[in-house]
Amino acid sequence: MRISKHWILALTMTILPLLVAFNSGTVAAQEGPISAINNPNPGAELWQAVRGRLDTPATTQVKGHDSAVLVNQQGDQWTAVRNKELLPKGGDLLIVVLLIIGAVYAMRGPVTLHAGASGKEIDRHSVNARFVHWFLAGIFIALALSGLILLFGRPLLIPLFGKAAFGTLAYGAKNVHNFVGPLFPVAIFLLFFNMVSKNLYEKGDLKWFAQGGGMFGKSHASAGKFNPGEKILFWLTIFLGIVVSVTGYVLDFPAIASWIVATFPEFTQYRHVMELSHVIHTIIAVLFIALVFGHIFLAVFFVPGTLQGMVTGKVDENWAKEHHDRWYAEMKGSAKGDA
Ligand code: HEM
Ligand code: HEM
């Protein structure tokens, strides 16, 4: 009997606090979240300000570009576009272009001269023209290689050479790109003035397209000094060259981006200008590289005898007759163009 009294007392002492706690919890649950959670997070507004989500723009006494921007939201979007869109799609495009070139070469083979080489040569490209071309080509190749290392290096080269070696390579590529880049518009300028007169529309150019440039079948496509395909290469080089140069200068010299922000208020941060420039730069650069793949293939492998003209300045007369008959006729002083 005595024992059971003790048990009842012990049981009451245990259950009572539990009941009280449970009861107050239920009441609190009925009234809303418990008081600690109910308190607004004192840091919430701070973090909204840090992320730039408040209506009132952040202010700071620190002087410098975007110093009031602590977290650049758009930067995340830009990183995603670069890594998830530009990188895989750029890589796919270059691979597809190389496959098409390989397939065309395998199906059609090199365009050899019907009459064979004549052994007689004719002047094709002046020293100036060759200098301008190789100046442009040298700069382009340096920029394309260094740019491709920067773009695809991480996924492609780190597994091959390791991080340390890639770090050194990427550092070199970045410096080559940053310092050689500013010369590119000079090359574009020289190319334009050196070759524009030979790259304007001439009668007969449309017919050349209709004949597929003489690439398929046996029909010969009549052409002047440069055929319409080359003229397209010329004009694309000028236009794509201007776009990569302008966007490249913005990336190389951030002062240009701050000038754009000061002039065009719709750009709120100079980093937005740089992100936009980077995306345009990379898209155009990859298209440009694909175009040049095609050009090098045609000049070196597909139409034998063409490269020689850009190296020595002279081409075989039969090459001139078969590929650029109107120009050959002009050179030989015939107005008819039926040489
Ligand atoms: C034909 C010409 C050019 C090609 C093919 C080219 C290609 C590229 C490529 C593929 C990238 C890499 C983008 C990335 O890693 O996300 C890049 C970045 C860049 N390019 Fe060019 N570019 C060319 C011209 C120029 C010019 C003319 C300039 C400067 C005047 C320039 C300056 C830059 C800069 C500063 C970067 C950013 C490098 C970095 O910090 O990652 N580029 N370019
Ligand atoms: C290894 C690289 C290159 C080789 C072997 C090469 C070869 C040639 C050759 C042989 C010609 C003369 C074609 C003819 O006589 O009809 C030529 C012309 C030309 N090349 Fe290149 N080239 C190279 C790189 C480049 C690059 C990188 C560009 C542009 C960025 C370029 C743009 C041009 C232009 C615009 C012409 C003149 C076409 C015209 O004015 O209609 N080349 N190239």
Task: Provide the whole-model pTM.
Answer: 0.84
In the predicted model, what is the mean pLDDT of residues 243-262?
Answer: 94
Q: Is 252 in the pocket of ligand 1 (CB under 6 A)?
A: yes
Indicate the CATH number of 93-331 among 2.60.120.10, 1.20.950.20, 3.40.50.300, 1.25.40.80: 1.20.950.20
pLDDT for 339 beyond 50: no
| Nearest in space to 198 (alpha carbons), one of 234, 218, 225, 177 | 225
How confident is the model at residue 215, as a pLDDT? 75
Q: Is 288 in the pocket of ligand 1 (CB under 6 A)?
A: yes
Q: Which ligand 2 atom lies nearest to the CA of residue 225? A: 16
Mean pLDDT is highest, among 32-36, 175-179, 269-273, for: 175-179
* Contact indicator for 291, 279 with CB cutoff of 8 Å: no
Res. 337 pLDDT band, cuts 50 70 90: very low
Which residue's alpha carbon is at the smallest distance from atom 13 of ligand 1?
151
**Using the 8-state DSSP alphabet, how is residue 335 labeled?**
S
Q: Is 248 in the pocket of ligand 2 (CB under 6 A)?
A: no
pLDDT per residue as tens digits for the range 37-54: 666 777 787 788 777 777
CA of 241 to the centre of ligand 2 (A): 14
Q: Is 316 in the pocket of ligand 2 (CB under 6 A)?
A: no
How confident is the model at residue 19, as a pLDDT? 52
Q: Is 150 in the pocket of ligand 1 (CB under 6 A)?
A: yes
Among all chains, which residue has been given the structure tokens 């597809």? 96
Among all chains, which residue has been given the structure tokens 């199906």? 107
pLDDT per residue as tens digits for the range 184-217: 999 999 999 999 999 999 998 999 998 888 776 6
How confident is the model at residue 5, as a pLDDT? 62
What three-state secondary structure class fits 73? helix
| Cα 227 versus chain centre, distance | 28
pLDDT for 153 beyond 70: yes
pLDDT per residue as tens digits for the range 47-100: 887 777 777 767 778 877 778 788 888 899 999 999 999 999 999 999 999 999
Integer Rg of the chain from CA: 34
pLDDT for 31 beyond 60: no
Q: Is 300 in the pocket of ligand 2 (CB under 6 A)?
A: yes
The amino acid at residue 72 is N
Res. 317 pLDDT band, cuts 50 70 90: very high
pLDDT per residue as tens digits for the range 94-134: 999 999 999 999 998 898 898 999 999 999 999 999 999 99
Q: Which ligand 2 atom lies nearest to the CA of residue 125? A: 15
Q: How far apart are CA 15 and CA 85, in angstroms?
A: 63
Give the DSSP per-residue string, 261-312. Answer: HHH-TT---HHHHHHHHHHHHHHHHHHHHHHHHHHHIIIIIISTTHHHHHHH
| Nearest in space to 244 (alpha carbons), one of 277, 272, 270 | 277
**Using the 8-state DSSP alphabet, how is residue 53 labeled?**
-
